[in-house]
Amino acid sequence: MLQKPPYTITEKAADYLAKIVETVTRLEFGTGFKRDIRLHRENRVRTIHSSLAIEGNSLTLGEVTAVIEGKVVAGKQTEIKEVKNAYEAYDKIMTFDPYAIGDFLKAHKLMTEGLVKESGKFRSGDVGVFDGDKAVHVGARPQFVPQLIEDLFWWAKSSELHTVLKSAILHYEIETIHPFADGNGRMGRLWQTLLLAKWNAIFAWIPMESVLYQNRPQYYQAIEDARKAADSGVFIEFTLSAIFDIITLQEKHQVKRKDKRQVELSNAQLAALKALESKNLSRKEIFAIIGMHGDSRSFKRNIEPLLVDGLIEMTVPDKPNSRLQKYRLTAKGKTIMSACP
């Protein structure tokens, strides 16, 4: 019989799980987070910067952004390569099956190609984590690694435990088994994010790694305490607290941006909303009423933000470029207009 990993779900962890589920629901359905493409890009850069910085990469957030944008950066070539590799791995995150060993190895190859000899392969030698000359943790013997990962993934796939809890356990177990010669920390964090994103796709754009980076001493301590206890309970608690912190921050950011946008509606946008109060209008009709040329630049500046904020919607959403396309005020838009003098 397959043995499950040793873990305890504490009351604190259960409480965090409930709060996470509630907050994610608000973030997904009560804010514009899912449509905030610019924020998604910014968060992806934060994720990559933080996960690599935990491992000692010295590039700043600005430099990581520049590397991803294809700009020339004065830095160590290995660190620049780490950024490019991590970007490719996270870019393909939703194509991976979190319970497939082949995908696990494929992701490791993307993450470490050109950086380590055994890229995309389980290690062939012993490995450990050292503090100076002192061994803090020694990974499993190499001959046992493939079976340990297979058992771990089989347990995770068959377990009815909530995915958020499973994601923390897999993160910890990957760190403990240490299946690779290098890149174990990066893979543990990537795989936790993957499981979370398979539970709810918005997690592909949530920079959980940034909280782990900001709380590195507590992160390391949680791993060490879990190892001493031979139980990942304390690590589950810590990781769930990090997830809760970052999604709460994302929600606050969305609320703040929403309030700011509502205050900063331009005269042209207010006129467009006013026109849509009485009937549905085409793009051409809207611009005729507000007295502007309806070119793509004007549309992007004046109408697209109303769509993104959910103040208006398309009457033919499945075919954005339909000749029959018109726009109408949403319930949210009507609420905004009822508050206007």
* pLDDT value of position 30: 87
Are 228 and 302 in the same domain? no
143 burial level (CB within 10 Å; 0-12, 13-18, 19+): exposed
Q: Among candidates 238, 195, 230, 175, which has minimal Cα distance to 93? A: 195
Rounded to whole angstroms, the Cα distance separating 287 from 6 reads 63
Domain that holds residue 107: 11-257
* 206 in a structural domain: yes
* pLDDT value of position 122: 97
* pLDDT value of position 128: 67
* pLDDT value of position 171: 98
* pLDDT value of position 1: 44
* 3 in a structural domain: no
SS3 track for the chain: CCCCCCCCCCHHHHHHHHHHHHHHHHHHHCCCHHHCHHHHHHHHHHHHHHHHHHCCCCCCHHHHHHHHCCCCCCCCHHHHHHHHHHHHHHHCHHHCCCCCHHHHHHHHHHHHCCCCCCCCCCCCCCCEEEECCEEEEECCCHHHHHHHHHHHHHHHHHCCCCHHHHHHHHHHHHHHHCCCCCCHHHHHHHHHHHHHHHHCHHHHHCCHHHHHHHCHHHHHHHHHHHHHHCCCHHHHHHHHHHHHHHHHHHHHHHHHHHHHHHHCCCHHHHHHHHHHCCCCECHHHHHHHHCCCCCHHHHHHHHHHHHHCCCEEECCCCCCCCCCCCEEECHHHHHHHHCCC
Q: Among candidates 167, 178, 184, 179, which has minimal Cα distance to 232? A: 167
From residue 155, how far is each of 75, 143, 158, 190, 231 by CA, in Å?
A: 42, 20, 5, 19, 16
Are 43 and 167 in the same domain? yes
Under 8 Å between Cβ of 2 and 155: yes
- Which of 216, 232, 257 corresponds to the end of one domain? 257
Rounded to whole angstroms, the Cα distance separating 160 from 158 reads 7
Are 231 and 296 in the same domain? no
Are 114 and 18 in the same domain? yes
For residue 321, the domain's CATH number is 1.10.10.10
Q: Among candidates 92, 68, 96, which has minimal Cα distance to 80? A: 68
* 97 in a structural domain: yes
Counting the structural domains of the chain, the total is: 2
* 128 in a structural domain: yes
295 burial level (CB within 10 Å; 0-12, 13-18, 19+): exposed
* 22 in a structural domain: yes
Q: Could you list the pLDDT tens digit for every one of the 341 residues in the chain?
A: 457 899 999 999 999 999 999 999 999 988 889 888 889 999 999 999 999 999 999 999 999 999 999 999 999 999 999 999 999 999 999 999 999 999 999 999 999 999 999 999 999 998 766 566 665 666 789 999 999 999 999 999 999 999 999 999 999 999 999 999 999 999 999 999 999 999 999 999 999 999 999 999 999 999 999 999 999 999 999 999 999 999 999 998 887 666 555 546 788 898 999 999 999 999 999 999 999 888 888 898 889 989 988 899 999 988 888 999 999 999 888 877 776 65
For residue 92, the domain's CATH number is 1.10.3290.10
Are 289 and 149 in the same domain? no
* 2 in a structural domain: no
Are 53 and 128 in the same domain? yes
* 4 in a structural domain: no
- Which of 229, 257, 285 corresponds to the end of one domain? 257
Overall pTM > 0.85: no
Rounded to whole angstroms, the Cα distance separating 293 from 219 reads 55
Are 185 and 289 in the same domain? no
Rounded to whole angstroms, the Cα distance separating 242 from 152 reads 23
* pLDDT value of position 337: 78
